[in-house]
Structure 1
Amino acid sequence: MVNSPSQTFPSCAQTLMYLLRQYGVNTVFGIPGVHTIELYRGLPGSGLTHITPRHEQGAAFMADGYARASGKPGVCFLITGPGVTNAATAMAQAYSDSIPMLVISAVNRREDLGTGRGRLHELPRQQDVTRGFCVWQHALTSAEQLPQVLARAFQVMHAPRPGPVHIEIPIDLFPAPMQMPLAEYRAVKPTALPMAPTESIATAAKWLAEARSPVILLGGGAQAAGKEATALAEKLAAPVFLSLAAKGIVDERHPLCGGANLSFSKVRTRVENADVVLAVATELAETDRNLVRENYQFHGKLIRVDLDPAQLVCNANPDLAICADARATLAQLNDALPAVDSERQRHSAAEVDELLRECRSEWWPGSEERYPWVQALRDVLPEDGILVTDSTQLAYNTNHALRLFQPRSHITCTTGYGTLGFALPAAIGAALASPRPVIGLIGDGGIMFTLGELAAAVEQQLALPILVWNNSGYGEIRDFMDAAEVEQEGVNLHAPDFVALARAFGAEGCRIDKPEQLGPVVAEAFARKGPTLIEITAP
């Protein structure tokens, strides 16, 4: 990296890019602006790939999808003011779902901060905008702070509960010289995640070994613990149920896996009547149960494992709280427990099979016509595929009815914040993060929020099928209005010709209306360079 003649050492912007690479970042999402010209001077030769979305909300959604697919923080570069406010919704979605995201924004020159001079893009207190949905924030006041601030940012995104981190850099600091050559700057390795105390493992192991009807609940924080969770379920002959954020952590074909069916009555009864429930890295929130508001009433002992102490008592007070890493704790429990006999495993597998049949009887009423589409989607999604879904009716069915087989296979905004427009840019981020095949699923209303990001997918030549479930408006809200006997208003939308729009962007487009048509068009989409918008005419 070449410095200008007036500089002995690299600029703050150059050092930022260098340190991001040291922390393992290789892709950043952002839209350059007049305030970030000097930031972008540090980009060429840095080894970072820059992806340009068409809206800053798209940038942050792409970073979110990238983080969920890779397990590494997604990184955004934003301009001052409107860049930050445009990205706010996507940052809030990431905060709600505990997704690590590093947002680096410009802010006005230090001499202008708080003066109200009416400078371009000025917000009187820019950090106040993001304070409610960031796990940590910092505003640089000198270039020399940068290495320390980045070290803290990556530590915060590592544990105990990740989320967006926002670092503001005044525009006059981007070209400011640092105090050392680049080669002397080093990333700081995040600290190890805490292990469970020996006495807590001993107590949990005793309760689980003595249990006659244990149950394991997994949340999204257990993404790295699938192997350990499966082994523990087999040792205990215990059914495993997944939150929506945990789909795929345990292979849903496993005979002990009851999938993401926590909202259905028979599963609820089974969980509430278990003599011991082991709940790992889950909030036990209504979004884990597909919007069933009533908390579980645990009649047996409840063991909770979470890195965040506050979550250990959220929605249900445990009999034993273990503040520790999910994967390490499950490994410790595996070491401490003997295996049960194979007959008990067969009995539990039969119980899970019966529970799933009972759940299916609750899936169908009111949405029978959508389940052939769920099966068609399962048939076309490769075993290692990633499904990225928006808040749309078909996605609510895939939440519980479409089985997934690997961790980080289910990327959805239907949990937590529940915004619209997520799936298209998040699918782009996931496709850039992972060599695994990706399919996006979004509604005709939701895609209008972020339709412009098709252009970014075309630029990157992503073999990305985007399914648009076209039910001529906001179908879910329409149904809720009907159920509440509220006259339909604002929910029946004029839709553009999505196929023509896709082709105008340089993507491919097609329209289908039968589930059996899905396989051939998705196969063609995976085989071409560039995205394919597949409009599904909803029944």
Structure 2
Amino acid sequence: MTCAELLIRLLRDTYGVDTVFGIPGVHTVELYRGLEPDADPAARSIRHVTPRHEQGAGFMADGYARSTGKPGVCFIITGPGMTNITTAMGQALADSIPMLVISSVNRTDTLGRGQGRLHELPSQQQLVSGVARFSHTLLDPAALPEVLARAFALFEGARPGPVHIEIPIDLFNAEIPPPAGRTTHDFTRPRIGRLAPDPALLAEAVSLLQGAERPLVLLGGGCVAAPDAARQLVEALDAPTVTTINAKGLLGGAHPLDLGANAALPAVREMARDADVVLAIGTELGETDYDVVFDDGFVIGGQLIRIDIDPEQLARNQHATLAIVADAGLALETLAARVADGLGETYDKTADAEAGKTRGAQITAATLEALALPTDPAFTPYVPLFDTLQQALPEAIWVGDSCATVYAANHLLSQPAPRRYFNASTGYGTLGYGLPAAMGATLGRPDLPVIALVGDGGIMFTLSELACAVEEQLPVVIVLWHNQGYEEIRRFMDNAGVTRLGVDIKAPDFQLLAQGFGCAAVAIDSPSELATAISERDASAPLLVEIDAAAWQRSIAQ
């Protein structure tokens, strides 16, 4: 068996990979040997999706991973393919998203020699290492199973992120004999256990939490695999809870203890300062979740208990009284059981009258009322937009770019389950993410509708992926908020007293462009038109819904 053939077999049979995103090139032709559907009629095939740009491939893999919890896998060519995908890897790294990038690299005997070979870089591995958990150059084909096992061990047992494995083009066809003592290349997937919290530190955390009078819980994207335990814990504590953007839906829809992703807003900041014990699990306490006004104003006044799988993260951003290295999900499960047993009570889910609400629920309700988000002039244009979309597609996964509708949805939207809301406004904050990531989510979860929230500026970065969406028949509803340029940057320029420059960009005719790609498109100005467009769409193909922002605001003001 050749190295390339063994790679496909390991991905498919040992690690259960069912989808690969990639653009074939002259250096990666051998990667496709054995990938064709009829190569092994007895085996399950891997679906290959061809984006129109390697950045799109990375964003698709990211969306696939976030919606499924499984690593997104890419096949990328040497040189320009890798420089193109590094932006997507940067976003995945910032948000701890598992992504496996398999690339070619120049022949072993030419590496680092600067001979002007096709796609040559001085050191491709060195360039990519900055946006990967690790980057490995495979120099011994027989080591491939070990390197892949290392990648998936990181995905399952450590803080995940992109992993890059590059294979010199002269090694793709290298024959690999079966390991000693075997007659085949069958490999068993290693079982990776979860990192448990230190018992003594956990007991100390339980004691602090049980003695807290004003507890506050902060749950991040690291918790999405344990929604039941998360609900059990916050209900046992009766604690108001911040669920970050990547943790949206963790407690279920409109949970009475859920403050949402509003940690940067005044009422929640006041709560953080006044809390005597704050429990933060699976969250880096980073700027794009806790300080979107960029004034370093999120301050924790009481004792802070932090739990994270990454020990270095426990020392960043906020000083912890107690820092516990552990898998967030396992820590949630253990804490929930211990705290509930210690308190001897459960949350009253049946209470619906104001007087019947628990103290924590009353505090949460009062805080959200003080925020008054639905009536905030900055958010009111988006309330009917989100209401209409939720009524039409209540189970949808929402995927967003960095754009006006996403900034509003971060604060306003409630989701019924985790892994149904994510966007590029967190961490790295790239543009062009929304459309391809939504396509990846559709491929990962074909059982659920998917909504892409994009703006007229950001969509231009990856608009070409509409061709892929049509080709693959991906029924993504693309909601394009057209506000004639880079609205967020216009606002920052105005606030800074800087003359607007480069932000009032000319937009193309999106309806005509969509039609050119073979994608259905409609321009609408009101909630009723939006509801009609979605109800009448072809549910087996993508739909571009273009909303003129100014016309929309006039229609809802009438």
Q: Same fold (TM over 0.5)?
A: yes
Aligned to 1:440: 452
Specify whether residues 430 and 361 from structure 1 end up closer, same or farther in structure 2 by C-alpha distance, changes over 3 A only.
closer
Match of 2:175 in 1: 177
1:348: how far off?
A: 1.8
Q: For residues 416 and 495 of structure 1, do their structure 2 counterparts lie closer, same or farther at Cα, with a shift above 3 Å needed?
A: same
CA positional deviation for 1:283: 0.7
315, 318, 340: which one aligns with 1:316: 318
Match of 1:28 in 2: 20
CA distance in 1: counterparts of 2:201 and 2:334, whole angstroms: 10
| Aligned equivalent of 1:304, options 295, 303, 306 | 306
Q: Where does residue 4 of structure 1 map in the other structure?
A: none
Shift of 1:480: 1.2
**AA paired with 1:392?**
C
- Alignment deviations for residues 70-105 of structure 1 (CA, whole Å, 9 cap, x no partner): 101000000111110111111111111111100000
Deviation at 1:367, TM superposition (A): 4.5
User: 3-state DSSP class of the match of 2:218?
Assistant: strand
Q: 1:67 to 1:182 in 2, by over 3 A?
A: farther
Counterpart amino acid of 2:2? Answer: S
Specify whether residues 327 and 361 from structure 1 end up closer, same or farther in structure 2 by C-alpha distance, changes over 3 A only: closer
Matches within 5 A, 1:197-208: 197-208=198-209
What residue number does 1:224 align with?
225
SS in structure 2 of the partner of residue 77 of structure 1:
strand
| Secondary structure of the structure 1 residue equivalent to 2:358 | helix
Q: Distance in 2 between matches of 1:361 and 1:508?
A: 34
State the alpha-carbon separation in 2 of the partners of residues 363 and 409 from structure 1.
25
> Could you report, residue by residue, the CA deviation over 1:238-277 in whole angstroms, capped at 9, with x for unpaired residues?
1111111211111141111111111111111112211111
Check if 1:94 corresponds to 2:92. Answer: yes
Q: Which residue of 2 aligns with 1:70?
A: 68
Corresponding residue of 1:533: 544
Q: In 2, are the aligned partners of 1:386 and 1:438 still within 8 Å (CA)?
A: yes
User: 1:481-537: per-residue Cα shift (whole Å, max 9, x none)?
Assistant: 111121111111111111111111111000011123222212333x43210011011
The TM-score with structure 1 as length reference comes to 0.95
Per the alignment, in what secondary structure is the counterpart of residue 50 of structure 1? strand
Instruction: State the match for 2:361 in structure 1.
Output: 349
After TM superposition, the structure 1 = structure 2 runs for residues 383-398 of structure 1, keeping only pairs within 5 Å, are: 384-398=395-409
Aligned to 2:210: 209
2:454 and 2:401 map into 1 onto residues whose CA distance is 5
Q: Is the 8 A contact 1:31 1:53 kept in 2?
A: yes
Q: Distance between the aligned counterparts of 2:90 and 2:106, measured in 1?
A: 23
Change (3 A) 1:134 1:361: closer
**Following superposition of structure 1 onto structure 2, how do residues 35-50 of structure 1 map, counting pairs within 5 Å?**
35-44=27-36, 45=39, 47-50=45-48
Distance apart, 1:295 and its partner CA: 5.2
What does 1:292-441 correspond to in 2, within 5 Å? 292-293=293-294, 294=296, 296-337=298-339, 338-340=343-345, 342=348, 346-360=358-372, 364-382=376-394, 384-434=395-445, 435-441=447-453
Whether the 8 Å CA contact 2:61–2:440 is kept in 1: the answer is yes
Question: In 2 relative to 1, CA 487–12 (structure 1 residues): closer, same or farther, beyond 3 Å?
Answer: same
Question: 2:222–2:329: 8 Å Cα contact kept in structure 1?
Answer: no
CA distance in 2, matches of 1:470, 1:71: 32
What CA distance in whole angstroms lies between the structure 2 residues aligned with 1:296 and 1:92? 25
Structure 1 residue runs of 4 or more that deviate by more than 4 Å after TM superposition: 341-345
- Aligned-partner Cα distance in 1 for 2:216–2:451: 32
Give the secondary structure class of the aligned counterpart of 2:271.
helix
| SS class of match (1:224) | coil
Which residue number in structure 2 is paired with residue 477 of structure 1? 489
Q: Give the SS at the match of 2:88.
A: helix
Identify which range, 350-359 or 13-22, moves more after superposition: 350-359
Question: Paired residue for 1:5?
Answer: none
Q: CA deviation at 1:361?
A: 5.1
Q: Is the 8 A contact 2:242 2:259 kept in 1?
A: yes
Contiguous gaps of at least 5 residues in structure 1 = 1-9
Per-residue CA deviations over 1:407-440 (Å, capped at 9, x if unaligned) read: 1011210001111100100000000001221100
1:243 is matched by which residue type in structure 2? Answer: T
Is the Cα contact below 8 Å between 2:256 and 2:361 reproduced in 1?
yes
Which is worse superposed, 109-118 or 62-71?
Answer: 109-118
TM-score (norm 2): 0.92
Q: Would you say the 8 A contact 2:251–2:417 is kept in 1?
A: yes
The verdict on how the C-alpha distance between 1:290 and 1:519 changes in structure 2, with shifts beyond 3 A counting, is farther
Q: Which is worse superposed, 292-301 or 102-111?
A: 292-301
Q: Which residue of 1 aligns with 2:133?
A: 135
Query: Partner of 1:288: helix, strand, or coil?
Result: helix
- Whole-Å Cα distance in 2 between the matches of residues 183 and 531 of structure 1? 44
Q: 1:228 is paired with a residue of what secondary structure?
A: helix
What secondary structure is seen at the aligned counterpart in 1 of 2:259? Answer: coil
Q: Distance in 1 between matches of 2:494 and 2:146?
A: 55
**Is residue 2:18 matched to residue 1:18?**
no
SS, match of residue 52 in structure 2: coil
Structure 1 residues 291 and 187: CA distance shift in structure 2, 3 A: farther
Match of 1:6 in 2: none
Q: 2:477 touches 2:544 (CA, 8 Å); kept in 1?
A: yes
User: 2:269·2:299 contact (CA, 8 Å) conserved in 1?
Assistant: no
Secondary structure of 1:39's aligned partner:
helix
Distance 2:529 2:52 in 1: 31
State the match for 1:524 in structure 2.
536
Contact 1:18 1:182 in 2 (8 A): no
Change in Cα spacing, 1:485 to 1:208, as seen in structure 2 (3 Å) is same
* Contact 2:157–2:195, Cα closer than 8 Å, also in 1: no
In structure 2, do the counterparts of structure 1 residues 345 and 302 end up closer, same or farther at CA, with 3 Å as the change threshold?
farther
**Distance in 2 of aligned mates of 1:485 and 1:376:** 37
